[in-house]
Amino acid sequence: MVSAAAETAIHVIIMETFKLNENFFKIPESYLFSEVAARVAAYKAENPEADIISLGIGDVTRPIAPSVIAAMHEAVEEMSTAEGFHGYGPEQGYMFLREAIALHDYEERGVHVSPDEIFISDGAKSDLANIGDIFSAQCRVAVTDPVYPVYVDTNVMGGRAGRLSSCRWDRIEYLPCTEENAFIPSLPSRCPDLIYLCYPNNPTGTVLSRAELAKWVDYAIENQCVILFDSAYESFISTPGVPHSIYEVPGARKVAIEFRSFSKRAGFTGLRCGYTVVPEELRLPASDGKMHSLRKMWLRRQSTKFNGASYVIQRGAAAVYTRGGLEETSRQTAGYKENAALLLRTCRSAGLEVEGGVDAPYVWVRCPEGYGSWDFFSLLLTRLHIVSTPGCGFGPAGEGYVRLTAFNTPEATREAAARLSALKNC
Ligand SMILES: *Cc1c(COP(=O)(O)O)cnc(C)c1O
């Protein structure tokens, strides 16, 4: 055994001698989706006649709304003329899109966010990953468990995670969300600097009430932490009283950065567009004794490392907020929500314990007694020809669950539901 001090010393020598960011080597190969694909392929090879339905996909499947397509066509045509050509755009995003977001996503919900606080990007994943640039490598991180793996892996790359032991990084605080706490995480005990919250949640499909979210905001204010609030699934919320934005909670502008995406709301997973809100009031002290604006730092980061999302795509995103765009995209979301509701009902009547599925496209299913995530995955695959995602792939607290998604077609989802209702007889 090497002592921790000796290990740190060795680590320093390694970092001084070699040129690569060795944090990358600490991250275990993510085998979740490749293992799922391999098991499905193996089963198909042995059972070529099996009609396999995927409820494992985390990608949308419906085509882009006509209003968005029309706006992008128009933008492409503009680009073909000398007057309408657009070269490098503003790094923070075009004002027409930032104004539409400020108005429709915030002002209309009674929340004030200025266009200057909105940063357009090529998607929420990049922003969630890049936000680490403005924080110290010493920051302590807390995540809910199960968790969207991007939060954890990017902090490993940034050197904030410590060492991996029994599936957990020792400098990251994991806040379990399980049946025992009704999937509502407890406040951290180790006083982190950065807290990642994702609501509606991927993978559990759960939401936080305004009162629950207020506890986090108050905690962050008291303890001077920053909440990184991922609301990629905001458009799936229909339950009254569930906050759509963390800024609906008083004081949140002082402590929270909000990440949003057009991916799940308007099918932009292949087009790529999202945005991040960094409020003016979000300031933290530095070693120079001064308070520093995180908005200013993020602006500097983006204008140095990012040259803006494409003009055509931003025109498409702005069309989401037109009357036609709103109607078309909300119809799509409603379709996915119907799929989720059907899966939820069916699982319940089949005697399974389920979470989510109401304000999110995910249904989080507790495996039957005696089954682990992979056992239940195999049962669903071999008996019902349904592909799920084993919950253990999202963190230690995900063991004993599988995730089903509502992103397949209504027809395939209905067929899957019919098979699930026969589960009792399996
Ligand atoms: C899909 C998803 C996103 C959105 O990612 P994009 O890069 O905008 O496509 C962000 N967070 C979570 C938890 C997601 O599931």
Q: What is the pLDDT of residues 307-326, one digit of tens each?
A: 999 999 999 999 999 999 99
Give the Cα separation of 65 and 237 in Å (integer): 20
Q: pLDDT band for position 45 (50/70/90)?
A: very high
State which of 199, 261, 364 you would mutate to test the pocket of ligand 1, scoring each by most atoms of that ligand within 8 A of its C-beta. Answer: 261
Task: Determine the pLDDT at residue 36.
Answer: 94
Q: pLDDT band for position 425 (50/70/90)?
A: low
* pLDDT tens by residue, 249-303: 999 999 999 999 999 999 999 999 999 999 999 999 999 999 999 999 999 999 9
* pLDDT tens by residue, 75-91: 999 999 999 999 999 99
Element (H, E) at 222: helix 210-223
State which of 33, 229, 263, 333 you would mutate to test the pocket of ligand 1, scoring each by most atoms of that ligand within 8 A of its C-beta. Answer: 263
Task: Determine the pLDDT at residue 426.
Answer: 61
Task: Determine the pLDDT at residue 100.
Answer: 98
Q: pLDDT band for position 422 (50/70/90)?
A: confident
Q: In one letter, which amino acid is 331?
A: R
Give the Cα separation of 153 and 23 in Å (integer): 10
Ligand 1 atom nearest residue 230's Cα: 11
- Tallying the residues shown for the chain, one arrives at 426
pLDDT above 80 for 11:
no
Ligand 1 atom nearest residue 148's Cα: 13
How many angstroms does the Cα of residue 270 sit away from the middle of ligand 1? 12
pTM exceeds 0.85 for this model: yes
Q: pLDDT band for position 93 (50/70/90)?
A: very high
pLDDT above 90 for 144:
yes
pLDDT above 80 for 424:
no
Mean pLDDT of the 337-358 span? 97
Mean pLDDT of the 237-242 span? 97
pLDDT above 70 for 2:
no
Can you say whether the dihedral through the CA atoms of 205, 151, 299, 217 is positive or negative? positive
Ligand 1 atom nearest residue 261's Cα: 8
Residues lining ligand 1, Cβ inside 6 A:
123-125, 148, 198, 202, 230, 232, 261, 263-264, 269, 274
- Parallel, antiparallel or unpaired: strands 354-356 and 291-293: unpaired
State which of 264, 269, 405, 407 you would mutate to test the pocket of ligand 1, scoring each by most atoms of that ligand within 8 A of its C-beta. Answer: 264
Task: Determine the pLDDT at residue 167.
Answer: 87
Closest CA to 235 of 336, 111, 377: 336
How large is the angle between the packed helices 373-384 and 32-46, nearest 10 degrees? 30
Ligand 1 atom nearest residue 127's Cα: 7
State which of 120, 122, 230 you would mutate to test the pocket of ligand 1, scoring each by most atoms of that ligand within 8 A of its C-beta. Answer: 230
* Residue having the nearest C-alpha atom to atom 2 of ligand 1: 232
* Residue having the nearest C-alpha atom to atom 12 of ligand 1: 232
Q: Work out the number of other CB atoms within 10 angstroms of the CB of residue 193.
A: 17
pLDDT above 90 for 112:
yes
What is the percent of the chain where pLDDT is above 70? 99
